[in-house]
Amino acid sequence: MRFKQMRELLEYVSQCRVAMSKLYDRLDHQADSSRVKLLLEYLRNHQLEVAKKMDQYIEDAPDGVLDTWFKRLDYDDIVAECTHIVLEGGADEHAVMDLALELDNKVLSLLHLALEQSEHQETQAALEAVLAAERVRQQRFVHSTLRMDDI
């Protein structure tokens, strides 16, 4: 995929989160274990909440930042990838967690790539803020799911 403006990039990140939520909903129907189903339900709701926060960020961000152009920002289609993933029979919560982190890291890598290619200070600052928030969110997500192991 190729993004031209910051707005398109952030909208795509939100779309990725929604696609991940749909993926976890679909995988929930394939899951055998109640613990895996519980984790998938958590992941589904979590991704929808993150998508809403990104949408709110887009609404609140200055147009000057959102309208910034990238020279060339190519990346694999994460949304399309989400439609092809299936849950292996007997997959446990660790396999689901690994999948969730892999997808989450792809989104973070995309944002980091945009940061590296950004030439404007305002855009760099905005991307650094988004990346920092995403990393904190990912840490909380990992801690929350690890606490589920204790249940």
| Averaged confidence pLDDT in the chain | 91
Residue predicted with more confidence, 39 or 1:
39
Does 151 have pLDDT greater than 60? no
- Considering only 1-5, 111-115, 134-138, which range has the smallest mean pLDDT? 1-5
Strand pairing partners for 3?
73
pLDDT tier for residue 135 given thresholds of 50, 70 and 90 = very high
Where does 1-151 show beta strands of DSSP type E? Answer: 2-5, 69-74
What's the CA gap between 67 and 70, in Å, rounded?
Answer: 10
> What is the span of the domain harbouring residue 105?
2-149
Secondary structure tally for the chain: helices H, strands E: 6, 2
**Chain segment 55-81, per-residue pLDDT in tens:** 999 999 999 999 998 887 878 899 999
Q: What is the pLDDT of residue 73?
A: 80
Q: Is the distance from CB of 66 to CB of 10 less than 8 angstroms?
A: yes
Q: What is the pLDDT of residue 112?
A: 94
Q: Is the distance from CB of 108 to CB of 138 less than 8 angstroms?
A: yes
Q: Which residues contact 13 (CB under 8 A, 6 or more apart)?
A: 54, 107, 110, 111
Which CATH number belongs to the domain containing residue 107 in this structure?
1.20.1260.10
Domains held by the chain: number: 1
CB-count exposure of residue 6 (10 Å: 0-12, 13-18, 19+): buried
**Chain segment 81-118, per-residue pLDDT in tens:** 999 999 887 789 899 999 999 999 999 999 999 999 89
